[in-house]
């Protein structure tokens, strides 16, 4: 397809941010201080893994509503030798929890996991066994070059000295204030005098700074085998939570191989189960490969219609057969096959919206964070981390100074389903730290937060790049759509005329200010340059490292 994508587009938009460029490294995260922490490691001679772990620890301080050491996540790592691996640090169900531990709220829909008293949503009973800290420390030891103490210094500094609250943080606190006010320790930091911190006010976390300092000295053992774990377990025991010492001492991370998809000559690598994302990105791309998306144009009614139909297909299959592969049989080969995509494509009506059932036999939060880092050696990290909902369980653990996850809200409280509770079961997620290769060369690495809207948004970014030929900045900022079978969410930039056409085709269109969260991405150019891009939906900031050290023997000497 020749010509510029805007000449064929039915939906227009202008980018609100500018990309960064560099040749020696790039860090993109959803807070400028976190990106600078990673860039500091690159400037000191560290690699992308050093930068990623420094960024993640910093994010626990400056994005406390999104990520924490009592959380979980998934990291996609590409090493300089070209190998790819996923480090699964997802949270697990505590051993004391059974399939019927919670009581589902009467009348809840099949995909709504609410429980009586919101026990799996807020408070100690909502907290699952954490995996983040163990995964970060192990990853640094295996693949990094710097010490844990060095990469944690920026986070410790931000926690002890404080930082200025952004408008984004202020809004997040305001959204969660009603529940947070029920817990004195968390309110003391984020709602002093009973009102949310205002933009520009200092956020100081002195207790958490002490926790980070202890971890810097003793590693993950401080939590999983040591006194920090004792504090967590004692709190759970006194307040009705489920995490016990055995949950911490037996927790293990898992290294997994990526799901691979071929799309119009590109190779897309995404997360494997228990993540649902890689499987369903492959499935949706396989179906869409049968349409000339470039010719149909970005944001046209036809393009959005096909996106909506493949999303509904993917979510129907996800509900039937997604989960922890140690507990259920996920039919990966069938879901990712070109033949199955052909079956599903043939059933799509090009003119009418349909309802879809699963084609195979057998929910999550929008409040995650993502960061992407790369160095000049060929190492790349794309990782998505979360404490699940905004401010997790809406409590703060005294003695640790950190906010725990509420991952138990992602499990079905009703026994007998793919996502039902079972001791030791890992969370099913839509996290999508993906990379795209062309002729064996890495070209893009990207990801974003946004719960069930993550993998559909990542897939749309890939289509923006591959089919529409957008720049990286355009691809991450472009208007998005989403549905899982009910309302078709479209962002504000989609014109009214397009919405009307979609409505006439049977879609229940709902206009949203945003679909999913702030995407962070890196593009790798043939000449060795890197471009970093972050979108308008969060405080995303790319920082590139260029230049370099002087050659040996090159110095100024006065005559």
The C-alpha angle 324, 327, 332, rounded to 5 degrees, equals 55
- Helix, strand, or coil (residue 520): strand
Do residues 71 and 392 make contact, with C-beta atoms less than 8 angstroms apart?
Answer: yes
Total residue count of the chain as it appears in this document: 559
* Cα dist from 535 to 30, 56, 198, 338, 365, whole Å: 9, 19, 23, 32, 20
DSSP letters of 245-279? HHHHHT---EEEPPEEEEETTEEEEEPPTTBSHHH
Q: What element of type H or E holds 27?
A: strand 25-29
Within 13 Å and on the Cβ side, how many CA atoms surround 22? 22
CB burial readout 469-499, b (16+ within 10 A) else e: bbbbbbbbbbbbbbbbbeebbbbebbbeebb
Asked if the bond preceding 274 is cis, omega within 30° of 0, the reply is: yes
Of 55, 368, 383, 384, which residue is the catalytic one?
368
Do residues 124 and 393 make contact, with C-beta atoms less than 8 angstroms apart?
Answer: yes
Residue of 368, 370, 381, 369 lying closest to 41 (CA atoms)? 381
Name the E strands within 474-519: 481-482, 488-491, 509-512
Contacts of 552 by beta carbon, 8 Å cutoff, 6+ apart: none
**Residue 472, both tokens:** 């990286």
* Cα dist from 454 to 178, 294, 517, 530, whole Å: 27, 22, 8, 24
CA 214 to chain centre: 27
429 part of the active site: no
User: Which residues are known to be catalytic?
Assistant: 368
């Amino acid at each position: 397809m020749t010509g510029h994508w805007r000449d064929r587009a039915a939906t227009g938009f202008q980018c609100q941010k500018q990309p960064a460029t560099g040749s020696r490294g790039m860090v993109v995260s959803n807070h400028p201080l976190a990106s600078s922490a990673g860039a500091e490691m690159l400037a000191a001679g560290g690699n992308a893994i050093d930068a990623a772990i420094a960024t993640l620890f910093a994010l626990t301080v400056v994005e406390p509503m999104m990520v924490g050491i009592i959380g979980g996540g998934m990291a996609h790592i590409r090493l300089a030798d070209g190998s790819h691996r996923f480090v699964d640090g997802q949270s697990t169900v505590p051993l004391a929890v059974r399939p019927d531990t919670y009581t589902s709220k009467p009348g809840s829909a099949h995909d709504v996991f609410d429980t009586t008293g919101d026990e799996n949503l807020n408070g100690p009973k909502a907290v699952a066994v954490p995996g983040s800290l163990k995964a970060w420390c192990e990853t640094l030891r295996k693949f990094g070059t710097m010490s844990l103490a060095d990469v944690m210094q920026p986070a410790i500094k931000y926690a002890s000295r404080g930082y200025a609250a952004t408008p984004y943080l202020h809004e997040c606190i305001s959204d969660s204030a009603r529940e947070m006010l029920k817990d004195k320790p968390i309110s003391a930091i984020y709602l002093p005098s009973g009102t949310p911190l205002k933009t520009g006010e200092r956020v100081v976390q002195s207790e958490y700074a002490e926790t980070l300092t202890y971890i810097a000295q003793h590693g993950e053992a401080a939590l999983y085998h040591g006194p920090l774990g004792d504090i967590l377990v004692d709190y759970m025991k006194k307040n009705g939570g489920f995490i016990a010492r055995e949950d911490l001492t037996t927790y293990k991370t898992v290294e997994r191989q990526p799901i691979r998809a071929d799309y119009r000559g590109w190779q897309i690598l995404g997360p494997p189960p228990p993540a649902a994302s890689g499987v369903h990105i492959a499935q949706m791309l396989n179906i869409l490969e049968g349409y000339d998306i470039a010719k149909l144009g970005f944001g046209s009614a036809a393009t959005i219609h096909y996106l909506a139909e493949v999303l509904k297909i993917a979510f129907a299959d996800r509900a039937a057969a997604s989960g922890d592969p140690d507990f259920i049989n996920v039919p990966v080969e069938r879901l990712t096959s070109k033949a199955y995509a052909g079956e599903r494509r043939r059933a799509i009506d090009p003119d009418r919206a349909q309802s879809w059932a699963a084609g195979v036999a057998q929910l999550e939060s929008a409040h995650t964070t993502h960061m992407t880092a790369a160095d000049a050696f060929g190492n790349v990290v794309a990782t998505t981390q979360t404490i699940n909902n905004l401010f997790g369980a809406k409590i703060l653990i005294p003695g640790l100074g950190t906010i725990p996850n509420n991952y138990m809200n992602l499990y079905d409280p009703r026994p007998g389903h793919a996502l039902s509770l079972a001791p030791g079961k890992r969370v099913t997620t839509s996290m999508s730290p993906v990379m795209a290769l062309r002729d064996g060369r890495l070209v893009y690495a990207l990801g974003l937060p946004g719960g069930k809207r993550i993998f559909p948004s990542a897939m749309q970014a890939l289509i923006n790049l591959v089919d529409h030929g957008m720049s990286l900045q355009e691809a991450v900022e472009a208007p998005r759509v989403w549905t899982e079978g009910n309302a078709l969410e479209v962002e504000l930039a989609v014109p009214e005329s397009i919405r009307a056409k979609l409505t006439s085709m049977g879609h229940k269109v709902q206009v949203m200010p945003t679909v999913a969260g702030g995407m962070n991405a890196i593009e790798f150019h043939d000449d060795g340059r890197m471009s970093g891009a972050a979108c308008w939906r969060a405080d995303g900031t790319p920082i590139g490292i260029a230049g370099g050290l002087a050659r040996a023997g090159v110095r100024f000497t006065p005559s």
